[in-house]
Structure 1
Amino acid sequence: MKLPRVLFFLTLSLHVYHLNAQIKKNKEFGFSSDNDLYVSFFLDEYYTNGLELFYKKATPTKYGHFTKKIKEIRLGQKMYNPYNSDIPNVYNQDRPYAGYVYARYSERFINDKNILTIGINTGYTGKKTGAKEAQNFIHQFYDIPESEGWKTQVKQILSIGIHLDYVYNFYYKPEKKTQISLINKTTLNSIFANFSSGLAFKFHSKHYKHTSIANTSFFGTALQTNSENWVKECYWGVKSYVTYQAKDNTITGELWNNPTQKEFHIEPFVWLTDIGYYWNLERWNISYHQVFHTKKTQEISSKWIRYGTINVSYKF
């Protein structure tokens, strides 16, 4: 009698596992971590660290021609310093110290050709961002002394505003290895005002299926509604765009300690390229990126600045 019972429970377990595998994953929780140490242990400059937590939920929709909607909330902290983490004299800085803490809510409307994102954001700069404390905490692991430069950081500025993103896929064939999309981004609030436009390239190997922009980790849409199935992905992705900076108060904001009354000036146009490798697994999304961009202030002498990004999320 024992063997039939074992076979029964084994069959039941396999059936439950199969049913669980077919359940749609329409929710996602994860984090994104930026740091220049992810590309070199000798870098500690400019946009030096960022951490973002996010939660998403996908639902079907019949709004216009869109078939899926993703609601998303993001909470994050970013920190900036000059060409070195410890430059206490403003006169020697090529960009100011600044922390930025924010929250974003957005709704993303999706079909196989278009992604339209509409959202609101709020945030603030200043000492209450905890950027100084976060940097000191990270530097403790590397036995780096605390920076005196944070005494000069950008003062507190409160913001509330909107952000709009639009993606249009103009080249996609499932049997081809390459997918090309147009990307546009706009952020408007009392700290940032910028407009970006460029191209996104997705390169699949022949061993994996090619997916549309409606169901891929490349654009954060790898959540399934009733009409979709999960597709395993493993690919290279490149996003390259030009940003017009109308305002960035993490650069031009008033400083706490600026006896020489030094001013910093925005570089109007910034070119950014993000090169990443992505895994879209059944329960997990993972990616690693190297990001290169031109200088954001006129005072910076370097032509290119780089940092790394790690993204990890769990789907359920």
Structure 2
Amino acid sequence: MRHLLKFVRNRFPSEFFFLKSVGQPLLFLLFFFFSLTTRASVAADSTTINSTRLFYFIFDNDATFKVDYYYTQGIGVVHYNPAFRKSPINKVLIQPSKSRSEQFYGLAYKYDSFTPTNIRDPNIRLGDRPYASYMFVTQVAGTTDKIRHERFTSSLDLGFLGPATGAGKFQRAIHEYLHHGVPQGWKYQIKTDLILNYNLDYQKEILRTQPLELLGEAGASLGTLYTNARAGAYLRFGWMNSYFSDLGISNKAARSQESLRKFQFYAFGRTQGKLVGYNATMQGGIFNSNNIYTLAPNEISRTVLESQTGLVCIIKGMRLESAVSFISPEFKGSRRHKWMHFNVGFAF
């Protein structure tokens, strides 16, 4: 075992330091949610429940553009599985009931970290973004109408902000290993607080004519982490199945039943405008006011534009996605920011 740990540390330093820093709180969150959700049996009626089991692994980082600030790193896992349909958490999630609809259920994990523009500065950087990090688990429930080409999704996030995420230790360990300027200001990070967020999203096909598909999108979030409303458009161009034919990847059974493509390759672009009511990563959590440094409400940008452009390749049951994400200034005096987004998915 000791030799195995040594091999992992030397071969995959970033992953090793991440698991060492945040492993315990991550395991606690996952155990809590799985204890609620895994009491369900597999769906018997595959005509109304999406039976495809999917895993998505998500990684965001701005190092590709030789920067290390604002939203500097994000890690996520999404698992769609019909077994989650009997979770008691679904009782508080909105799911439109339609005879022609197909329901789906999922569980996700998200870990994000944020820093100011100069992580080597040992002082509080007034007017800059605070250090912040969070991790949470999300229960997802949704409905897809394949006739009207629309999808409605609701989700509930539960987790925490603050030092217990291990983001400071993680970033310091990585920078020490790479000999790339050790961050000095994590002692000023947003303090521990509860994350409880409710999210709604709606997507509707506006235009589809091979090889192009255009969707309209709208959504809102309310809670202790983010409170906002958003709307935008999602454009895809290339060789692809309808967006509403699956949850991003089709399994073998679905492809044979619906004559779906085994191979897909397309470019995409997404733009969303956002009205910001509250952002705990800059303003601090709602229940703990003992933060050393936060931004005042009048310093927060109330309108934010986000966009993403990328490529997707799907071969049978595997999905590879790479994209560049952009965001307009989020507070007074801040800069525009961009980072790379990677997504690997599997259907089984």
Asked if 1:222 corresponds to 2:249, the answer is yes
In the other structure, the counterpart of 2:344 is 312
- Compute the displacement of 1:92 (Å): 4.2
- C-alpha distance in structure 1 between counterparts of 2:347 and 2:249, whole Å: 9
Paired residues of 1:272 and 1:292 also in contact (CA < 8 A): yes
Number of equivalenced pairs: 278
Asked if 1:153 corresponds to 2:189, the answer is yes
1:54-73 equivalence runs, <5 A: 54-57=78-81, 63-73=97-107
Instruction: Spell out, residue by residue over 1:71-114, the C-alpha distance to the aligned partner (whole angstroms, 9 max, x if none).
Output: 11111210000112333322445110001111111112112310
Aligned CA distance change for structure 1 residues 79 and 66 (closer, same or farther; 3 Å): farther
Provide TM-score, normalisation by structure 2.
0.74
User: Structure 2 counterpart of 1:109, which letter?
Assistant: T
Name which of 71, 84, 88 aligns with 1:47. Answer: 71
- C-alpha distance in structure 2 between counterparts of 1:86 and 1:198, whole Å: 37
**Which is bigger in relative contact order (C-alpha 8 A, separation at least 6)?**
1
In the other structure, the counterpart of 1:82 is 116
- C-alpha distance in structure 2 between counterparts of 1:66 and 1:292, whole Å: 37
Q: Does the residue aligned with 1:69 lie in a helix, a strand or coil?
A: strand
Q: Does the residue aligned with 1:285 lie in a helix, a strand or coil?
A: strand
- Report the structure, 1 or 2, having the larger helix content: 2
Aligned CA distance change for structure 1 residues 249 and 67 (closer, same or farther; 3 Å): same
Aligned CA distance change for structure 1 residues 65 and 167 (closer, same or farther; 3 Å): farther
1:7-22 equivalence runs, <5 A: none
Name which of 253, 257, 265 aligns with 1:234. Answer: 265
- Compute the displacement of 1:280 (Å): 1.5
Name which of 57, 65, 71 aligns with 1:31. Answer: 57
Paired residues of 1:45 and 1:81 also in contact (CA < 8 A): yes
User: Structure 1 counterpart of 2:347, which letter?
Assistant: K
Aligned CA distance change for structure 1 residues 117 and 233 (closer, same or farther; 3 Å): same
- C-alpha distance in structure 2 between counterparts of 1:314 and 1:91, whole Å: 42
Question: Sequence identity of aligned pairs in percent?
Answer: 19
1:40-189 equivalence runs, <5 A: 40=65, 42-57=66-81, 63-92=97-126, 94-112=128-146, 113-173=149-209, 176-189=210-223
Aligned CA distance change for structure 1 residues 122 and 140 (closer, same or farther; 3 Å): same
Which runs of 5 or more residues in structure 2 are unaligned?
Answer: 1-49, 86-94
Greater gyration radius: 1
Paired residues of 2:54 and 2:249 also in contact (CA < 8 A): no
Q: Structure 1 stretch 133-142 or stretch 238-247: which is displaced more?
A: 133-142
CA RMSD of aligned residues (A): 2.5
In the other structure, the counterpart of 1:251 is 282
Paired residues of 2:127 and 2:295 also in contact (CA < 8 A): no
- Compute the displacement of 1:161 (Å): 2.6
